[in-house]
Amino acid sequence: MNFIQRQLQIAINSITQWSKVNGFTISTSKTAAVHFCRKRSLHFDQELNNEIIPFMNEIRFLGVVFDKKLSFQQLRKKCEKSLNILKVLSTTAWGADRVSMLKIYKATILSKLDYGCTIYGSARKSVLQKLDPVHHTALRLCSGAFRTSPVKSLYVDCCEPALEHRRQLLSLNYFFRIGSNPCHPFYDFKLRPFLVRQQEARKSFVPVFFTRINLTLSELNLLYLRPTLQPNNTFPPWEIPDIEYLNPFKTFKKSDTTDVINQKIFLEHRQHYQDSIPIYTDGSKSAAHVSFAVVFPDKTISFTLHSSCSVFTAEALAVLFALEEISDRLQRNFIIYTDSLSVLQSLKSFYPHPHNHPVVLNILDLFNKLALRGFNIMFCWVPSHVGILGNEQADRAAKSAVVPISIGIPVGDLKKHVEMYLHTKWQEQWDLETDNKLHTLKPLVQPWPSLANRKADTLITRLRIGHTRFTHLHLLFGEEPPMCSSCNCRMSVRHILLECPIFYIQRLQFFKTSSISLSNLLSITPHVQIFAFLRSINFYSQI
């Protein structure tokens, strides 16, 4: 400990000296330290400007509270306090609707749980699990579900994933954002060899962020994903290329214009620009195939991309490859035809921003360089699938492309891909919950519309999940479950709505049949007579 104390003091002195040389002053009254350990007593005192630095049990840094045991209890307490807002608004009789409740939850509580999760995600699993009750309580309040409702049913009913799922998603997004920025201080981060050995030797060693992310990528089979490097903006705002595009079809509505008229409009347009060499670009995206193609009068270029790339990326890459091919040609007048209005709008309305699409930046940079070399390049929008020969050739070439190209994936596309991949994993887990009562009604994890009336929406939610006050209140008091006096079986929502012969007449009266399924009664659109039936059997007030 004496060695550690000396090394820390040397570091503090070095920082203090550097501050004095560069004109900075460190306030001793605002300086504090935290000793992260499980022991109760502190082992050393450090000094700043001959004043002892006070050691605190916890300290706030960039909005995240770190306590000396890294239990992050303050985060849980802060979120539990914010639950009072939901409790006030969640009265089952007159409370706010589910959509509003979920928005309030995301704004007041979930945002706090999301912020800094890349940091506190290193905590032990037992520590992170202490945050789950906050999430579960909030979802119960938002949906009106009964207190005994299974958490997996809550997730699917509210279409809100578990906190672990969210931490994975946010951490992966942050990891890919770092990987796309070569200027980020952690871009080339590598753990020191002695720390790697220590981590392998001691299972209690807390893995760093990148180690945890690599484990997550390995578990999800996503290690092959590589983000596109964000290119540097080489031109200031006042030198951004002013790109305008031609649109000979702007006065015509595609749905009201025949293909023959569109073709004649294009032929007339080509008569005006016959001195410019036409180049046709197109991108294609299907379930497992993303590709693009560039068609020159004497050459066709086509490549396939990773399936996570968006159609916008494919269309933009087609334009970029067209410009790269132009740069090697002797001619100087070209016109690039594309059916992607979004790409043309992005080029026209571009403004420097940290989250600009990297391919759009590369297009503008190359376009600027070609303009300085004397190239006259124009862009023109054409409607797709109307029989314009060059556009049809580009479309066929893109769909038939088979040669892959090794290129990174834009961060925006990666985020959508990871989100969809994790949602698919969630769906696969839900598919295994065949004994879950909600699974029979809602096999797909997707949002369902809520009822405008809070009371009605709460009742339908409890019936769908299968946990009501009448059927499951005994779990809270440690009592025996209620039994049906007629059938001598345990009371359940299914038994009451479908099976019990006591309510046979009421089923005929309200449902016009004695044989009906839960899907007909409680699906995405509840049966119009469900509440009248519940009132007639005196079950409405006991849900």
**Interval 189-206: pLDDT, tens:** 877 787 778 777 777 777
Mean pLDDT of the 15-38 span: 86
Domain co-membership, 279 together with 323:
yes
Mean pLDDT of 271-295: 93
CA 43 to chain centre: 44
Per-residue pLDDT tens over the stretch 479-536: 999 998 888 899 999 999 999 999 999 999 999 888 889 999 999 999 999 999 999 9
For the CA atoms of 409, 414, 420, 426, the dihedral, rounded to the nearest 10 degrees, stands at 120
344 inside domain: yes
The whole-angstrom separation of Cα 398 and Cα 338 is: 13
CA distances from 318 to 121, 283, 391 (A): 40, 7, 12
106 and 202 part of one domain? yes
Q: How many domains does the chain have?
A: 4
Higher model confidence: residue 255 or residue 363?
363
Same domain, 400 and 480: no
Cβ atoms of 277 and 381 within 8 Å: the answer is no
- Whether 398 and 274 share a structural domain: yes
Rounded to two decimals, the pTM is: 0.87
Last residue of a domain, one of 366, 381, 407: 407
Claim to verify: residue 17 and residue 43 sit in the same structural domain:
yes
Give the pLDDT confidence score for residue 295 in this predicted structure.
96
Which pLDDT band, with edges at 50, 70 and 90, does 43 fall under?
A: low
Q: pLDDT (tens digit, 9 = 90+) per residue, 488-497? A: 899 999 999 9
Average pLDDT, the chain: 90
For the cut 90, the answer to whether the pLDDT of residue 28 exceeds it is no
What integer pLDDT is reported at residue 207 of this predicted model? 80
Does a structural domain hold residue 27?
yes
Please indicate, yes or no, whether residues 304 and 364 belong to a single structural domain of this protein: yes
| 93 located within any domain | yes
- Would residue 158 count as lying in a domain? yes
Q: What is the CATH classification number for the domain harbouring 263?
A: 3.30.420.10
Please tell me the least confidently modeled range out of 95-109, 124-138, 196-210. 196-210
pLDDT computed for residue 58 by the predictor:
85
What is the pLDDT, as a whole number, of residue 140? 96
Lowest mean pLDDT among 61-75, 102-116, 379-393, 443-457: 61-75
Give 70-91 pLDDT, tens digit per residue: 888 888 999 999 999 999 998 8
Show which of 204, 220, 236 is a domain's final residue: 220
Of 184, 203, 220, the residue at which a domain comes to its end is 220
**pLDDT (0 to 100) of residue 42:** 59
Same domain (yes/no): 398, 482: no
Q: Which residues pair with 305 in a beta bridge?
A: 290
Same domain, yes or no: 186 and 287:
no
26 pLDDT higher than 90? no
What integer is the mean pLDDT of 412-439?
Answer: 94
Helices and strands, counts by H and E, the chain: 25, 10
**238 or 367: which leads in pLDDT:** 367
Instruction: Give the residue with greater pLDDT, 37 vs 419.
Output: 419
Q: Say if 130 falls within a structural domain.
A: yes
Do 194 and 140 lie in one domain? The reply is yes
Q: What would the mean pLDDT of 326-353 be, rounded to a whole number?
A: 92
Q: Do 116 and 202 share a domain, yes or no?
A: yes
Q: Which residues contact 465 (CB under 8 A, 6 or more apart)?
A: 145, 146, 149, 150, 153, 154, 157, 437, 438
Please, are residues 87 and 141 in contact by the beta-carbon 8 Å criterion?
A: yes
In a domain, 453, yes or no: no
Q: What is the pLDDT at residue 440?
A: 92
Are residues 175 and 319 located together in one domain of the fold?
no
Fill in the amino acid letter for 213: I
Does the residue 117 lie in any domain? yes
Domain annotation covers residue 200: yes
The Cα 516–Cα 520 span in angstroms is 7
Convert 482-517 into a string of H (helix), E (strand) and C (coil): CECCCCCCECCHHHHHHHCHHHHHHHHHHHCCCCCC
How far is 437 from 440, CA to CA, in rounded Å?
6
Return the higher-pLDDT residue of 23 and 235: 23
Segments forming the whole domain that contains residue 473? 468-537
Residues 84, 36 share a domain: no
